[in-house]
Amino acid sequence: MRRKAGMTKRIILANPRGFCAGVDRAIQSVQTILNTAAPREDDLPPVYVRRQIVHNRHVVDELAEQGAVFVDELSEIPQAAAQAGIPVVFSAHGVSPQVVREANELGMSVVDASCPLVSKVHREVLRFVREGYEIVYIGHRGHDEAVGVIGESPEHVHLIEHERDVDDLDFSPDQKLVLLSQTTLSVDETTGTIAALQRRFPWIELPPSSDICYATSNRQAAVKLVAEQADAMVIVGSANSSNSVRLMEVANEALGGRGTAHRVDDADELDSAWFEGVSAVGVSSGASVPDELVQGVIDALQRLGFTEVDTVETIEENMHFVLPAALRKRG
Ligand code: SF4
């Protein structure tokens, strides 16, 4: 699909893309606190947030500008804030029970903005451990979501990242085994890992429904369709956003060597050299990305001559999560 002289260069937008219900709820949680906090006479902020509320630099910077204070660990929050009832919000990725205990011990007022679909995996861990299972968990080592889920039962949850890690596992056939996974994995890559697990441990059970969430699979399916019609792709999303990085990988796979998928935080990171000779550039964004960043990329591509914009729509999403209980009266 390389460009012939005189051919119109076009952008193909993937839909669905961008914010998912869990990210929207997490951001709304912080926003609701910011909007409804009473003015203070001390120098305490209206809200603390443990870790990035969602893995997007722009979202975090914007909330920080409005007064939210982001911390890596609860120990960074002054005791005076807990005593004054300043809320601390847990991010969409969820936390391990150890963090919940620490917050309780410190007397903090917690607003848990963990995505309900992540919390579902936490509950699955607890249920399967109660029933005597060992759990093989496919996830990314060190990612906040994986750390939180494994923290539910570190001795019974066995993390693997890739198909090749299956060889490192060892279970006897009388050991009840179940598979769980991070919500933001690549659907295709996980299918390969599951097949390898089933070959090695044919008795392994799968969860009642896939842990890879609707937003992850919908965005990957849309990106695949777009990439099949494009000869370059731009995925908007931060480097630490698991679902954005997976989208880039899925896009690269679907481009099949005809072109390259690039991940950018925003339009400033685009390099015009990527689009030399390209006639159709696909665009999508991870689940934590505000659409104005995608619009910025579209504007920049239009300045590079990609004047036509088409959209490939695969499914209409209507998922919505209510605010955490602690905020419903405020919202
Ligand atoms: S990507 Fe999925 S699991 Fe993660 S916040 Fe969004 S809906 Fe929830």
pLDDT digits 0-9 by tens, 202-214: 999 998 889 999 9
> Is it the case that residue 153 has pLDDT exceeding 60?
yes
* Residue 145 bears catalytic tag: yes
| 247 close to ligand 1 (CB < 6 Angstrom) | no
What's the rounded Cα separation, in Å, for the pair 119 and 116? 5
Segment 97-116, tens digit of pLDDT: 999 999 999 999 999 999 99
CATH class of 21-115: alpha beta
pLDDT band at 329; cut points 50, 70, 90? confident
Q: Which of 55, 143, 184, 285 to mutate to test the pocket of ligand 1 (most atoms within 8 A of CB)?
A: 184
The domain at 117-200 falls in which architecture?
3-Layer(aba) Sandwich (3.40)
What percent of the chain has a predicted confidence (pLDDT) above 90? 94
Residue nearest to atom 2 of ligand 1 (CA): 213
pLDDT tens digit sequence for 217-260: 999 999 999 999 999 999 999 999 999 999 999 999 999 999 99
Q: Per residue in 263-282, pLDDT tens?
A: 999 999 999 999 999 999 99
Query: From the CB of 113, is ligand 1 less than 6 Å away?
Result: no
Average pLDDT, the chain: 95
Question: Does 215 contact ligand 1 (Cβ within 6 A)?
Answer: yes
Q: Does residue 143 carry a pLDDT above 70? A: yes
Paired residues of 110 in beta bridges: 88
Instruction: Judge whether 172 is annotated as a binding position.
Output: no
pLDDT at 2 over 60: no
Is 241 annotated in a binding site? The answer is yes
Distance CA 242, CA 147 (A): 14
This prediction has a pTM of 0.94
Separation between Cα atoms, residue 292 and residue 296, nearest integer Å: 6
pLDDT at 328: 83
> Is 242 annotated as belonging to a binding site?
yes
Task: Look at residue 331 in the predicted model and tell me its pLDDT.
Answer: 55
Q: How far apart are CA 117 and CA 183, in angstroms?
A: 8
The active-site residue, picked from 124, 134, 145, 152, is: 145
Structure tokens at 136: 């093989």
For ligand 1, is residue 115 a contact (CB within 6 Å)?
Answer: yes
Residue 31 CB–ligand 1 contact under 6 Å: no
**What pLDDT, in 10s, does the model give residues 30-67?**
999 999 999 999 999 999 999 999 999 999 999 999 99
Question: Atom of ligand 1 at shortest distance to CA of 115?
Answer: 8
Give yes or no on whether 9-20+214-313 and 117-200 have one common fold: yes
pLDDT digits (tens, 9 = 90+) for 162-209: 999 999 999 999 999 999 999 999 999 899 999 999 999 999 999 888
Ligand 1 atom closest to residue 54's alpha carbon, by position in its atom list:
5
| pLDDT over 50 at 294, yes or no | yes
pLDDT number for residue 5: 53
**Residue 232: which of 269, 178, 180, 276 has the closest Cα?**
276
**Boundaries of every domain in the chain:** 9-20+214-313, 21-115, 117-200
In the structure, what pLDDT confidence band is assigned to residue 6 with cuts at 50, 70 and 90?
A: low
Q: CB neighbours (10 Å) of residue 25?
A: 22
Compute the distance between CA of residue 206 and CA of residue 61 in angstroms, rounded to an integer. Answer: 39
Give the CATH number of domain 9-20+214-313. 3.40.1010.20
pLDDT at 1: 47
104 assigned ligand-binding residue: no
Give the tens place of pLDDT for each residue, 315-324. 999 999 999 9
